[in-house]
Structure 1
């Protein structure tokens, strides 16, 4: 079975990415690194080459949707069974690859992803087209999930294009919605990944830039339902204001 793993990296050294280490050690996995870095300090091409990985430079941060489209274009004429999407801050155990080898490539596979605080962030569920954490896996009525560790049958990536108006957020939810509309089955892969977030207390200016990106992407995703956009934006602003202890965040943007 042939597995392609796509790792999009941004202003980080490959040596600091646990998912890079995991995928590069698997003989049945061909890794493709897509580099969105803007800082010349991060020169990852040579490290990717030494690990036997393919490398694509996006010549700056073009966003996640464009990076995934570039990866799918690169892989389109290549034979294989799976395309796995990897985050640079996710720990991938060896059991993940073993379980994926057992799965038949006729459905999308979502692993169980938890934070270091044991909060499950994927799979999640959809209620009224709003994603929310799932309390129990067997209680999910309409499933969704995040990109990290998502395994997609290769034939589906050959014909799919991400909406490049989405820069970073809700790309995963849009993809899974599109797949469900096509009748593609989504299954849970019985293995657990660990997501490492860079900081629980982000630096304010970076957090505001991140909020601006979220607001843009939410406006695209919920262009048909403005109230859902405002519901999530206000919710995220309140959370960030409390996290930063900065009430002025509520009026940002």
Structure 2
């Protein structure tokens, strides 16, 4: 079996990415690092080369959709079974790779992804085109999920693309929706990943900048139903105002 793992990084050294170290341990996994970094002090290309990974620079932060699409284009001339999408802040256990090798590449596979506190964030249930967390994957009737750990049959990456009008948020939900509309099966991979989140998400300026990206992406995704975008943005503002203890966040934008 031949597996390609795509790791998109942003202003982070590869040695600090747990998913980078996990993929390197697997003899049948070829790692492709796609670097969206804007910090010129980070030199991931040499570290990737020394580790035997392929490297693709986006020459700045072009967004996650364009990074994944660039990876798919890069891999077009290769043959293999799976393309696995990895986040730089996700712990990938050995069990994940063991389970993936047992699968036939005829469906997109979503592992169970939990936060460090144990909350399941993927897969999730789509209700009225809004992703909602569930307690157990067995209760899901209309499945969606996040990019982290998603395994896509190699042949699908030769044809399908992420919507590059979306910069970061909901690119995974749009991708899965497009796949399902074309009859692609989405299944759950019996493996669990743990995803951590950067602490600087609770710094006001960085959080507000992140909120602006979310706002643009959500209004793009819900172009036909902008009230859904407004609803989700308000939910995020309220959560952020509570986390930061700054009620003025509710008035932002």
- State the TM-score, normalized to the length of structure 2: 0.99
Q: How does 1:161-172 map to 2 (within 5 A)?
A: 161-172=161-172
Q: Deviations over 1:2-29 (max 9, x none)?
A: 0000000000000000000000111000
Partner of 2:215, secondary structure, is helix
Q: Secondary structure at the match of 2:183?
A: coil
Cα distance change, pair 84–201 in 1 and its aligned pair in 2 (3 A): closer
Residues 187-243 of structure 1: CA deviation (Å, up to 9, x unaligned): 111011010111286111000000000000001000000110111011111110111
Could you say which residue in structure 2 is the equivalent of 1:102?
102
RMSD between aligned residues: 0.9
Q: 1:241 to 1:71 in 2, by over 3 A?
A: same
TM-score normalised to structure 1 length? 0.99
- Structure 1: distance between partners of 2:159 and 2:201: 40
**What is the aligned partner in structure 1 of residue 148 from structure 2?**
148
2:233 is equivalent to residue 233 of structure 1: yes
> Structure 1 stretches of 5 or more lacking a match?
none
Could you list the structure 1 runs, at least 4 aligned residues long, displaced by more than 4 angstroms after superposition: none
Quote the offset at 1:134 in angstroms: 1.1
2:13 corresponds to = 13
Partner of 1:217: 217
Is it true that 1:120 corresponds to 2:120 in the alignment? Answer: yes
Contact 1:201 1:243 (C-alpha < 8 Å) held by counterparts: no
Q: Which moved more, 1:14-23 or 1:243-252?
A: 243-252
**Superposition pairs for residues 82-97 of structure 1, below 5 Å?**
82-97=82-97
Instruction: Count how many residue pairs are aligned between Structure 1 and Structure 2.
Output: 253
Instruction: Measure how far apart 1:79 and its partner are.
Output: 0.3
Deviation string 1:107-133 (CA, Å, 9 cap, x unpaired) is: 001001001100000011100000010
The corresponding residue for 2:157 is: 157
Q: Is the 8 A contact 1:14 1:44 kept in 2?
A: yes
